[in-house]
Amino acid sequence: MSQQSSASAPYDPFEEFDRHQGAETVRDPYPAFAAMRRAAPVHRVNLREMLPPGAPLPPGAADIVWVAVTHDAVAQVLRDAETFSSTGYAETMGKVMGHTILEMDAPEHGRYRALIQKAFTRGALERWEKELIGPLVNGLVDRFAARGRADLVRELTFPFPVAVIAGMIGLPEEDHDAFHRGAVELISVAIDWERAREGARKLREIFARTLEARRREPRDDLVSVLAHTELEGTRLTDDEIFAFLNLLAPAGAETTYRSSSNLLFGLLSHPDQLDAVRGSRLLVPRAIEEGLRWECPLVSIMRTATRDVTIGGVEIPAGGKVSLNLGSANRDETRYENPEEFDVFREPRAHMAFAFGPHRCLGMHLARMETRVVLETLFDRLPNLRLDPEAEDVHIAGMVFRSPRRLPVRFDPA
């Protein structure tokens, strides 16, 4: 937060995030992805040539990247974690967050993932839904239900996933505001490096207090599980716990904020499908999967080739950086009919939004549940919910992370 804004205005995380979004974002890269798929499954791309003259590459980023765009090419990479390592994240995200499971390979990855998985049991999910997520979403809707209009991004989908994570971690109420600030700074990692480091430093202070308290007196929260869980005599060190907690803000909050916004945009801009899902709640899970397929919030992830390898006829040398375009894979015409269309009625077929293989998203059931709670709450509480007919040019944008900036809606006031 800037000195000026902290002195003159109350803290507003959305304003703060928006201000630091930086560069103009890409509106619709999908026609370009389709053209790439038609040309070849994998493309060698020189990132420097794509940047404006003199613009620096993001810290730790390679200039030559092999971009996999078809479903089969992306699947081949994700299936073979021995040939395609995740350790490259250590040079980028790892510098800010610490050594997280995201950047580990086997066997280290499996050990830590098993430890952390213990915090994401079905029982924990049910408890979080009842005690945390339901009340949180309802509390946010309370603030605008009588108004008859709202911006669902600013007032709901942006604030709620960070608050969910603060609650799951077990942070005391008085730290939630500071956590939100630190998390917003940390999720600027792709845009503003120094700011993200500063965010990580602040978060560490907040986490350290709670960790110390839970070591003395465990409770029913994530920090207590992480502090006390043990697997074959291994316990997580403080640094490992902090790194994992750091990862949760970008991995769990930014993605879920964007995916629930994208699904709402899909439904609001297709009123017939909105009516159908509102009328038959059995369609909610299908709508969630279709939203994730159609506009996945995190478009690409990275791997590094550990040996010379060929994918889809394209040779990648050992050490080559491979970008997996999950968004493009999700619209591969050899797998999905009319892939560019948002269609909650389509034949369900697995998508890549959560990736797969050993690093498949650890929070996917949580993310789905959070999105379901949002949809059900909106349907139950905001009759006649629709896109504000006066709103102009509401759209999804972004290259690596995609979502709408705003979702102005109208409904019958409570």
Nearer to ligand HEM, 36 or 301 (CB): 301
Tokens 């009340």, residue located:
135
Q: Minimum CB separation from ligand HEM for residue 9, in Å?
A: 30
Q: Minimum CB separation from ligand HEM for residue 113, in Å?
A: 5
DSSP-derived secondary structure for 140-152 = HHHTTTTTSEEEH
Nearer to ligand HEM, 56 or 107 (CB): 107
Q: Minimum CB separation from ligand HEM for residue 289, in Å?
A: 11
Chain residue at closest Cβ approach to ligand HEM: 363
Nearer to ligand HEM, 140 or 326 (CB): 326
Q: Contacts by 317-320 with C-beta closer than 8 Å and gap 24+? A: 320/64, 320/66
What is the spatial distance between Cα 284 and Cα 336, in angstroms, rounded to a whole number?
A: 20
Q: Which residues contact 205 (CB under 8 A, 6 or more apart)?
A: none
Q: Minimum CB separation from ligand HEM for residue 259, in Å?
A: 4
What is the spatial distance between Cα 201 and Cα 247, in angstroms, rounded to a whole number?
A: 13
Nearer to ligand HEM, 113 or 195 (CB): 113
3-class SS of residue 325: strand
Nearest in space to 401 (alpha carbons), one of 96, 186, 190, 183 = 190
CA–CA–CA angle 176, 301, 253 (5° rounding)? 15
Q: Minimum CB separation from ligand HEM for residue 72, in Å?
A: 18
Identity at 382, one-letter amino acid code: L
Nearer to ligand HEM, 151 or 295 (CB): 295
End-to-end CA distance of the chain: 35
3-class SS of residue 360: coil
Nearer to ligand HEM, 227 or 326 (CB): 326
Nearest in space to 179 (alpha carbons), one of 11, 297, 19 = 11
Q: Minimum CB separation from ligand HEM for residue 98, in Å?
A: 13
Q: Minimum CB separation from ligand HEM for residue 321, in Å?
A: 13
Nearer to ligand HEM, 226 or 353 (CB): 353
> What per-residue string of b and e applies to 175-191 under the rule 16 or more CB within 10 Å gives b?
beebbbbbbbbbbbbbe
Which positions lie near ligand HEM, rule CB under 6 A? 101-102, 113, 165, 247-248, 251-252, 255-256, 259, 296-298, 301, 353-355, 359, 361-363, 366-367
Q: Minimum CB separation from ligand HEM for residue 5, in Å?
A: 28
CB atoms within 10 A of CB 237: 10
Positive or negative torsion for Cα 293, 294, 295, 300: positive
Helical packing angle, 271-279 and 364-381, nearest 10°? 90
Nearer to ligand HEM, 203 or 298 (CB): 298
